[in-house]
């Protein structure tokens, strides 16, 4: 089969590799599409990430087939897999990006998304390869979900990013009288906008440097959109909140400036949700968090128990991919796909085997 194999930073190759065969309680997916995530782009570039207790180039263990935003059709089942996953040949399915070990203190306590081993599809070769391929093996300890046949290719491929956005919004604990700011209107940021709107906050403000994305955010329910290249974000947010600042700030820019901006415009006793994956260290004045504002700072990692919610919201038409999934390219054009994933004219890029 054909697959995009990561060998090292800036060394990704389209190769012919052996098609996997499922063992006991394993299944084989025929991939329908695989999205290119910002973390894929940063990993490919060799940007340093905090992993394994230290900063290192990416967190990939090469060689490995890349990709964690995938879905596919069940085409083969190993012995016992039908009962194990409650799945049948011909079903459409998606696996969560993490493959939990099931043995560490976090898995044992039900916090599987924080698994200490923390194997992720497309990053750790000893567990399972990723979805930038024609076929993909899903191991027995994966968390698998069926997808309704009615969902389109774009909707199915966007389930993983949407599930991550749902978790981040849930971490914000949005109340009816809250002013919520979402900083960063990339694919997941735009998913957050739609989900946050469903929480019916008093005001929903979206910040981004690209006007086209801000227009989408407005279409998806943002009350106010701000572009830091021309708007004084601090002044505008304080003017909209009686001088106090926003109640909830969700950081989805991946830029250190997005963190500093949030600490400036959030009110005292506010809730700051950090979602982004950063390519470099971020330095801030921590006295803002404690001494000056007593903030509730919350991380948002992956998508615990939100895949079924994402599938349901998509199936009910409460969240759309219109305008978000902008490009679909064949797997052989993955180089162009990675280039476009960082280009201003695109938002979400899919690779189609």
SS3 of residue 293 by DSSP: coil
| Chain segment 70-109, per-residue pLDDT in tens | 999 999 999 999 999 999 999 999 999 999 999 999 999 9
The pLDDT of residue 53: 44
DSSP string, 9-68: TTEEEEEE-PPP---TT-EEEEEEEEE--HHHHHHHHT-EEEETTEEEEBS-BSSEE--S
- Enumerate the domain spans of the chain: 2-158+321-352, 162-299
Tell me the H-state helices in the chain: 38-45, 81-85, 105-108, 153-157, 159-171, 187-198, 211-219, 233-240, 256-265, 307-315, 334-340
Which residues sit opposite 144 in a β-bridge? 95
Residue 58 clears pLDDT 90, i.e. is over it: no
Nearest alpha carbon to residue 72 among 163, 155, 135 = 135
Q: Give me 145's structure tokens.
A: 């979900």
Percent of the chain with pLDDT over 70: 95
The pLDDT of residue 59: 63
The pLDDT of residue 60: 74
CATH classification for the domain delimited by 2-158+321-352, as one of 3.90.180.10, 3.30.1330.40, 3.40.50.300, 3.40.50.2000: 3.90.180.10
CATH classification for the domain delimited by 162-299, as one of 3.30.420.10, 3.40.50.720, 3.40.50.880, 3.40.50.2000: 3.40.50.720
Instruction: Please classify residue 43 by burial: count the beta carbons closer than 10 Å to its beta carbon, then call 0-12 exposed, 13-18 middle and 19+ buried.
Output: buried
Q: Give me 333's structure tokens.
A: 């054009």
The pLDDT of residue 55: 45
Residue 127 clears pLDDT 70, i.e. is over it: no
Residue 52 clears pLDDT 50, i.e. is over it: no
- Residues 6 or more apart in contact with residue 347 via CB below 8 angstroms: 186, 187, 190, 213, 216, 323, 324, 325, 326
The pLDDT of residue 165: 98
In the chain, count H helices and then E strands: 11, 20
pTM of the model: 0.95
Residue 242 clears pLDDT 90, i.e. is over it: yes
Task: Look at the block and give the residue holding tokens 């990006």.
Answer: 97
Q: Give me 320's structure tokens.
A: 């759309």
Cβ atoms 204, 185 nearer than 8 A: no
The pLDDT of residue 43: 84
Tell me how far apart the alpha carbons of residues 186 and 210 are, in angstroms, rounded to a whole number: 10
Which residues sit opposite 251 in a β-bridge? 183, 274
| Chain segment 222-240, per-residue pLDDT in tens | 999 999 999 999 999 999 9
Tell me how far apart the alpha carbons of residues 193 and 181 are, in angstroms, rounded to a whole number: 9
Nearest alpha carbon to residue 58 among 275, 274, 279, 276 = 279
| Least confident among 125-129, 161-165, 218-222, 272-276 | 125-129
Percent of the chain with pLDDT over 90: 88
Confidence band, pLDDT 50/70/90 cuts, at residue 142: very high
Task: Please give the DSSP secondary-structure letter assigned to residue 145.
Answer: E
Cβ atoms 19, 4 nearer than 8 A: no
């Amino acid at each position: 089969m054909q697959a995009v194999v990561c060998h090292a930073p800036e060394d990704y190759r389209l190769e012919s590799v052996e098609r996997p065969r499922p063992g006991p309680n394993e299944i084989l997916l025929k991939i329908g599409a695989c999205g290119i995530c910002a973390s894929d782009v940063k990993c490919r570039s060799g940007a340093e990430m905090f992993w394994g207790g230290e900063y290192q180039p990416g967190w990939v263990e090469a060689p490995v087939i890349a990709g964690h935003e995938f879905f596919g059709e069940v085409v083969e089942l190993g012995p016992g897999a039908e009962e194990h996953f409650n799945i049948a040949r011909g079903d459409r399915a998606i696996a969560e990006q993490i493959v939990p070990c099931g043995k560490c203190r976090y898995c044992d306590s039900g916090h599987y998304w924080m698994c200490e081993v923390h194997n992720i599809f497309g990053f750790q070769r000893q567990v399972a390869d990723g979805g930038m391929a024609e076929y993909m093996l899903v191991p027995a300890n994966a968390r698998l979900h069926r997808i309704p046949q009615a969902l389109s290719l774009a909707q199915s491929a966007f389930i993983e990013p949407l599930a991550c956005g749902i978790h981040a919004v849930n971490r914000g604990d949005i109340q009816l009288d809250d002013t919520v700011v979402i900083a960063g209107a990339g694919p997941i940021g735009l998913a957050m906008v739609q989900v946050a709107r469903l929480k019916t906050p008093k005001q929903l403000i979206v910040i981004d440097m690209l006007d086209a994305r801000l227009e989408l955010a407005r279409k998806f329910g943002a009350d106010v959109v701000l572009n830091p290249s021309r708007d004084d974000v601090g002044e505008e947010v304080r003017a909209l909140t009686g001088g106090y600042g926003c109640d909830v700030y969700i950081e989805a820019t991946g830029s250190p400036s997005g963190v500093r901006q949030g600490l400036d415009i959030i009110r005292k006793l506010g809730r700051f949700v950090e979602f982004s994956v950063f390519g470099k260290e971020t330095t801030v004045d921590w006295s803002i968090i404690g001494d000056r504002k007593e903030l509730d700072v919350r991380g948002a990692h992956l998508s615990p128990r939100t895949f079924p919610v994402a599938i349901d919201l998509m199936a009910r038409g409460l969240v759309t991919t219109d305008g978000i999934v902008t490009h679909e390219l064949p797997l052989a054009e993955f180089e162009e796909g990675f280039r476009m994933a960082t280009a201003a004219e695109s938002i979400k890029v899919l690779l189609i085997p």
